[in-house]
Structure 1
Amino acid sequence: MNDPVAGPEIPPEVSEFIENRTYDEIQIGDQSVLTRTLRPEDIQLFAIMSGDVNPAHVDPEYAHSSMFHEVIAHGMWGGALISTVLGTEFPGPGTIYVSQTLKFSRPVKVGDTITITVTCTQKFDHNKHMIFDCLCT
């Protein structure tokens, strides 16, 4: 039985994709890249998970009359993909990020492919913290 505090066990097929890089292994300028294509089911799952059922995201008829004229991804879908990189690959498991500033340049629509690039820009030896530049294009 899973410990509710520890969370569910990670299935082996998922854990094989999880990497970890330690503070000492990461150099300024190192980066990691993740590419994803937005699917309708991504929007539906994000709406269910977040509770954000804004019709701009989930109702094609409503979205057609909006400023973008079609369903768009939740802005935080991109933020969640940044979290995916930080928590599973770069640096990886154990990473806790404490601040995030986002700027949305354009909407992401179904079928759009975005690339998330996470780059280490600063390291602080006294507390082993790092600053990353995260860009979704």
Structure 2
Amino acid sequence: MDKEFLENITFDELALGQQASLNKTLKQEDISLFAVMSGDVNPAHMDPVFAKSDIFRGIVGHGMWSGSLISALLGTVLPGPVTIYLEQDIKFRKPVRIGDNITITLIVRDKRSDKPIVTFDCKGVNQRGDIVIEGLATVLAPTQKIRVARADLPHIEIHNHDRFQAIIQSWRPSAQRLFIR
């Protein structure tokens, strides 16, 4: 895959059975960033103490993190730039945990004859071969060939500053004495 440019595959170039894949490993930073962007701060994703007692017995990634990998593959590889995501029907089969390496594969399932609409089979598999997500995605495929420079993404760091909580707590009694007098 070209790291500097994105080139689409037009509706006419797409063939039934054609496929593309990408893989990504879920990191704690991905969970934190997804929570910031989506507002989904469900303790199953954010609170290790809570998560130990829930159904998954530990922190799990947001289901839509896996779904967003499908969107990334559709928008950058197959069919690529100018693709419009119309519909999805996905099922989350197993939780994705920090350190899981997920391979998302899209396969052209159907092409409509009256419009440039394409349906893809979608599947995400972890490093153990477990299906974690599967379903269908329907897109309006590009009809014009384009090649564009890949966008430069900003460097983002997420800091949780929990390490300062002990210091803050240790000063709290002193601060109260200063202001109560």
| Structure 1 unaligned spans of 5+ | 1-13
CA offset at residue 17 of structure 1?
Answer: 4.9
Residue type of the alignment partner of 1:69: R
User: Is it true that 1:71 corresponds to 2:36 in the alignment?
Assistant: no
Provide the rounded CA distance (Å) in 2 between the counterparts of 1:44 and 1:30: 34
Residue type of the alignment partner of 2:32: Q
Given that 1:19 and 1:90 are in contact with CA atoms closer than 8 Å, whether structure 2 keeps it comes out as: no
Match of 1:117 among 105, 108, 116: 105
- Structure 2 counterpart of 1:43: 31
Q: Map 1:1-137; keep pairs closer than 5 Å.
A: 16-137=4-125
- Structure 1 counterpart of 2:156: none
Provide the rounded CA distance (Å) in 2 between the counterparts of 1:23 and 1:67: 43
Structure 1 counterpart SS, 2:89: coil
Residue type of the alignment partner of 1:109: R
Provide the rounded CA distance (Å) in 2 between the counterparts of 1:47 and 1:17: 29
Please, which moves more after superposition, 47-56 or 14-23? Answer: 14-23
Q: Which protein has the larger Cα radius of gyration, Structure 1 or Structure 2?
A: 2
Task: Give the TM-score taking structure 1 as reference length.
Answer: 0.86
Given that 1:32 and 1:90 are in contact with CA atoms closer than 8 Å, whether structure 2 keeps it comes out as: yes
Residue type of the alignment partner of 2:75: G
CA offset at residue 56 of structure 1?
Answer: 0.4
Provide the rounded CA distance (Å) in 2 between the counterparts of 1:113 and 1:15: 21
Structure 1 counterpart SS, 2:79: coil
Task: Give the TM-score taking structure 2 as reference length.
Answer: 0.66
CA offset at residue 23 of structure 1?
Answer: 0.8
Residue type of the alignment partner of 2:27: R
| Aligned-residue RMSD, C-alpha | 1.4
Provide the rounded CA distance (Å) in 2 between the counterparts of 1:102 and 1:128: 22
Provide the rounded CA distance (Å) in 1 between the counterparts of 2:106 and 2:35: 25
Provide the rounded CA distance (Å) in 2 between the counterparts of 1:73 and 1:17: 30
CA offset at residue 84 of structure 1?
Answer: 0.1
Structure with greater strand share of residues: 2
| Structure 2 unaligned spans of 5+ | 126-181
